[in-house]
Amino acid sequence: MTISAQAKALADRIRSASRAAALSGAGMSVESGLPTFRSGSRALWRNHDPMTLATPDAFARDPVLVWEWYRERLRAHGSAQPNPGHLALAELERRIATFTLITQNVDGLHLRAGSRDVIELHGDVRTSRCIRCGERVETPLAGEVPPRCACGGLLRPNVVWFGEALPAGAYERAYEAVAQSHVFIVAGTSAIVFPAAGLVEVARAAGAFVVEVNPDETPATSRCDVSVRAPSGEFLPLVVQHL
């Protein structure tokens, strides 16, 4: 089947679905110029050890190093623009009665593309919180590193690090949305980080039509009804065109 025929088939499914959901990962933002964690030569976890940058221990050991890295990423996010894949998912939300977008991305590009019902499973870097009093603030883009809260405590990026729990209620809301969906799109994720990856099973158990959009095979591939081997920025706009 051609990519266009796969897009038409998915559009047909979507037309008769009143509830749908999507799970996105770093691959969604590749066409915005951002690197993924595990694929390609610019992959973040190929070039940096996550244990030195994305754990509570790493932050306790060297908050300056951790902050410099997040500031760099925040700057990259700021200069990136939503790509046609992000825009297509925002359009799907307007066309489907209930459409929930669950993202593992912390770059905010789905929101900037116009998606509104978004669950940011791994938090976001636009905000930070104080490790002493819990106060949340917009992440300061410049100034002292590590930045401090008005109470004097250290601020940390409001993201989920290895070994940490997801934001309160986020997984439960995602589970609920997926369990009620007729169509579930899994785009741009290696599907190896849990509990996000487990949502594929939730969708299957609920009888949803599960479509993966990824140029490469993943552990989720065999659990999906269809795997589309194309970039999300190419395939998702085609689906919208066929609606």
Smallest gap from Cβ 16 to ligand OAD, in A, equals: 25
Q: Which is nearer to ligand OAD, 98 or 198 (CB)?
A: 198
* Dihedral pair phi/psi, residue 75, rounded to 5°: -65, -45
Nearest by Cα to 74 from 8, 163, 3, 158: 158
From residue 56 to residue 95, the character string flagging contacts with ligand OAD as x (rule: CB under 6 A) and all else as - is ----------------------------------------
DSSP 230: S
Smallest gap from Cβ 152 to ligand OAD, in A, equals: 28
Among 82, 147, 157, 231, binds ligand OAD (CB under 6 A): 231
Secondary structure of residue 176 in the 3-state scheme:
helix
Peptide bond into 35 cis (omega under 30): no
Cα–Cα separations (whole angstroms), residue 11 to 94, 127, 160:
14, 36, 34
Segment 113-172, which members bind ligand OAD (CB under 6 A)?
Answer: 122, 160
From residue 199 to residue 218, the character string flagging contacts with ligand OAD as x (rule: CB under 6 A) and all else as - is --------------xxxx-x
Question: To 10 degrees, what angle do helices 84-95 and 232-242 make?
Answer: 30
Segment 94-113, which members bind ligand OAD (CB under 6 A)?
Answer: 104
> Among the candidate windows 29-37, 144-152, 168-176, 199-207, which touches ligand OAD by CB under 6 A?
29-37
Catalytic site residues?
A: 122
